[in-house]
Amino acid sequence: MLFSNPLIYFVVIPLLMLAGLSLCKNIKQIRAVAVIGSIGLLALSTVLLVKYLAMPPINGDHQMAWEGSWQWFPQLNICLSVGVDGISLAMLLLSSIIVFAGSFASWTINQPKEFFLWLILLSTGVFGFFISTDLFTMFMFYEVALIPMYLLIGVWGSGRKEYSAMKLTLMLMGGSAFLMLGLIGIYYNSSVDGQHTWNLLEIARNHAITPEWQRLLFPLTFVGFGVLGAMFPFHTWSPDGHASAPTAVSMLHAGVLMKLGGYGCFRVAIYLMPEAAHELGWIFLVLTGISVVYGAFSACVQTDLKYINAYSSVSHCGLVLFAILMYNQTAMTGAIMQMLSHGLMTALFFALIGMIYGRTHTRDIREMGGMMQIMPYLSVCYVIAGMASLGLPGLSGFVAEMTIFVGSFAHTDTFHRVFVIIACCSIVITAVYILRVVGKLLFGPVHNEHHRQLTDATWWERLSTATLIICVAAIGCFPNFFANLIKPTFVEEIFKVFQYNS
């Protein structure tokens, strides 16, 4: 039955939270609902993770754990299909962690009821997306996750919030316009016998999309998801959007929502259309390669903390897509680790920036300085986040990037090699802009004497950041656990035909 499948609860819990929130009378109840709900999600994903690891490994043949399928629109073969593998489980864990941290990060937001309503709706979309194996529901949840952003940024944002919110929404919806076309196209080519299906596992099993159709549909799908994955040149929503968004929204958006893009590129575009991916991948490889370096260079000269981080996200998420396009297991593992890692650390970054901004009311690094003396806790967290971002061993960024580089380097032709080397260069540029910020913002003398009165983190802020830091460190210290969890064993199988081997 529907409710005997544990995955359904990833959607049910947020829905219950929504119901609970709408009954709430005061801020205490709202907080209680948010915290209980996010703990529930966190617990659920952890329990499933443990159970998943205890399961015998699911090998090949396009299987997933806890698969379930319930007819929804039978004539169109639309089902509510769920199923997870290590990758989606990792994404679910990431999402629940960030929702948890985000709830605490928006502890004192004004109009909390509406805020949490939208935030939870957003996370419903995210969870739903990750558990879905049906392209229709996947797409539906994808859009559910996008639209609350508009109000969240528009109402609770700062700066040019109306412009940014509109831009972000329209660009992402633009992406999803391409995506929708691609998905419907996939549906109509999903099988040879006319029994079309939306179920991506079945589509993969059928392997019926002809190369001609793939050539049409692959770019549509990849670009569709790539927009959300901040692929150059469709990334410009990201700096403005992130800069204007409130803390928890930036966290969720950069931490989880952008992962939808990478995950989708991987799960849909490449998984279902390997031939076209093989053939046309180079175009996107160029674009993502540009993203990686371009984002990093752009971040070097920004003065707004959120802009820096947004461009850094462009760079890091570019690396995700870059690695995905390498079509080998190691690089893909790296890509997914990078998603996890970037999700956590960028959430941490945005949380910290939000906290700092909440105190100083500026995000311009030229107007701040010596924060280390004023708010040591936040500053130390910032340094840790920075270190994670520039790939310090022991934190998550390092393992992800190294896996990507080692995996990507296995691609032997010169074209790929050159791009790998270019991508590698990003580690230096990353160091430059991270250290620039750390140096200007945290170190040095105090710029503004008024800032001396500011207080350090409160307990909920500490909880929020500490959670993220622990996760970042956990991935960084025990990478093999995660690598084994997410290793996409099917990649080699799909691309065996093209003789990619490392």
Partner 1 sequence: MDYSQFLAMKQEIALLVVFLLVFLYDTFMPQRSGKGLPVFATVLMLIATIGGFCSCCLGGTCSLSAFSGMYETSAAIVAIKNILNIGVVIVLIQSIRWANGPDMAVRRGEFYELLLVTLFGMYLMISARHFLLFVIGLESASLPLAAMVALDKKRYESSEAAIKYMLTAVFSSAIFMMGLSFVYALCGSLYFETIYINLAAQMSPLLILAMAFVLAGVGFKLSLVPFHLWTADVYQGAPTSVTSYLSVISKGAAAFALLVILAQAFGTVYSQVWSWMLYALIILTITVGNLFAMRQRNMKRFLAFSSVSQAGYIMLGVIGFNGTAMAALMFYILVYIFSNLGAFGVIQAIENNCGKVSMDDYKGLYKTNPRLSFAMMLAMFSLAGIPPFAGFFSKFFIFTGALAQGSTAMYVLVLIALINTIISLYYYLLVVKAMFISPDESVIPTFRSSCSERLGMWIAVAGIIFLGIVSCVYNWLLGIGAHTAIFQ
Partner 2 sequence: MSPTIPILILAIPLFMFLLLGLLGMKMSHKLAGWLGCLGMGTTLVLAYCTAYTYYFGGDFVGANGERLMSVVFNETWLAFTDKLVISMGFMLDSISALMLVVITTISFLVHLYSLGYMEGEKGFQRYYAFLSLFSFSMLLLVVATNIFQMYIGWELVGASSYLLIGFYYTKHSAVSASKKAFIVTRFADLGFLLGILVLSFTTQTFDFAELCGNPTAQVTAFAGKTFMGCSLLTWALILIFTGGMGKSAMMPLHIWLPDAMEGPTPVSALIHAATMVVAGVYLVARMFPLYLWSFDATTFIVVVGAITAFYAAMVACAQIDIKRVLAFSTISQIAFMMVALGVASEGEGQVCHHGLGYMASMFHMFTHAMFKALLFLGAGALIHAVHSNDYTAMHGLRKFMPVTHITFLIGCLAIAGIPPFSGFFSKDEIMAACYAWHPVIGVWMSVVAGLTAFYMFRLYYLIFWWKEHKIEHGHKPHEAPLPMLIPLVFLAAVSCVAGFIPFGHFVSWNHLPYDIHLDWTIAGISVTIAVVAIVIATVMYRKENPLPAKMKALLPALWDWCYHRFYWDELYMFITHKIIFNGICRPIAWFDRHIIDGTMDAMATITNKASVAIRGLQSGQVQMYVWVYLIGALLLCGLGVMAVIL
Applying CB under 8 A, the residues found at the interface with partner 1 are 72-76, 78, 136, 139-141, 143-144, 147, 150-151, 154-155, 161-162, 165-166, 169-170, 173-174, 177-178, 180-181, 184-185, 187-188, 216
- Indicate the SS3 state at residue 376: helix
Interface with partner 2, residue 213, by CB under 8 A: no
In 3D space, the residue among 14, 89, 95 whose CA is nearest the CA of residue 51 turns out to be: 89
Sign of CA dihedral 449, 453, 456, 457: negative
| C-beta separation of 337 from 262 below 8 A | no
Residue range at the interface with partner 2 (CB under 8 A); choices 42-50, 182-190, 420-428, 452-460: 420-428
Mask of contacts with partner 2, 370-409, x by CB under 8 A? x-xx-------------x--xxxxx---xx--xx-xxx-x
Interface with partner 2, residue 466, by CB under 8 A: no
Interface with partner 2, residue 458, by CB under 8 A: no
Cα–Cα distance list, 21 to 41, 427, 491 (Å) = 16, 43, 42
Q: Quick count: other Cβ atoms within 10 Å of Cβ 55? A: 9
CB nearer partner 2, residue 197 or residue 329: 329
Interface with partner 2, residue 47, by CB under 8 A: no
Interface with partner 2, residue 236, by CB under 8 A: yes
Given 16, 67, 444, 460, the residue binding partner 2 (CB under 8 A): 444
Query: What is the rounded distance in angstroms from the CA atom of residue 378 to the CA atom of residue 356?
Result: 8
Query: What is the rounded distance in angstroms from the CA atom of residue 30 to the CA atom of residue 24?
Result: 6
Q: Which does 102 bind (CB under 5 to 8 A by kind): partner 1, partner 2, none?
A: none
CB nearer partner 1, residue 145 or residue 400: 145
CB nearer partner 1, residue 187 or residue 232: 187
Interface with partner 2, residue 207, by CB under 8 A: no
Interface with partner 2, residue 445, by CB under 8 A: yes
Query: What is the rounded distance in angstroms from the CA atom of residue 201 to the CA atom of residue 147?
Result: 27
Query: What is the rounded distance in angstroms from the CA atom of residue 102 to the CA atom of residue 100?
Result: 5
Query: What is the rounded distance in angstroms from the CA atom of residue 196 to the CA atom of residue 78?
Result: 10
Token duo for residue 359? 């105190």
Query: What is the rounded distance in angstroms from the CA atom of residue 142 to the CA atom of residue 136?
Result: 10
Residues 317-346 touching partner 2, rule: CB under 8 A, are 329-330, 333
Residue 70 β-bridge partners: 80
Token duo for residue 14? 């947020």
Interface with partner 2, residue 432, by CB under 8 A: yes
Minimal distance in Å, beta carbon 445 to partner 2? Answer: 6
Interface with partner 2, residue 363, by CB under 8 A: no
| C-beta separation of 110 from 356 below 8 A | no
Query: What is the rounded distance in angstroms from the CA atom of residue 397 to the CA atom of residue 342?
Result: 7
Token duo for residue 254? 């950069």
Interface with partner 2, residue 422, by CB under 8 A: no
Minimal distance in Å, beta carbon 188 to partner 1? Answer: 6
Interface with partner 2, residue 483, by CB under 8 A: yes
- Indicate the SS3 state at residue 82: strand
In 3D space, the residue among 110, 449, 69 whose CA is nearest the CA of residue 247 turns out to be: 110
Minimal distance in Å, beta carbon 73 to partner 1? Answer: 5
Minimal distance in Å, beta carbon 74 to partner 1? Answer: 7
Interface with partner 2, residue 305, by CB under 8 A: no
Task: Tell me which residues touch partner 2 (CB under 8 A).
Answer: 167, 170-171, 232-233, 235-237, 239-240, 294, 297-298, 300-302, 329-330, 333, 370, 372-373, 387, 390-394, 398-399, 402-403, 405-407, 409-410, 420-421, 424-425, 427-428, 431-432, 435-436, 439, 442-445, 479-480, 483-484, 502
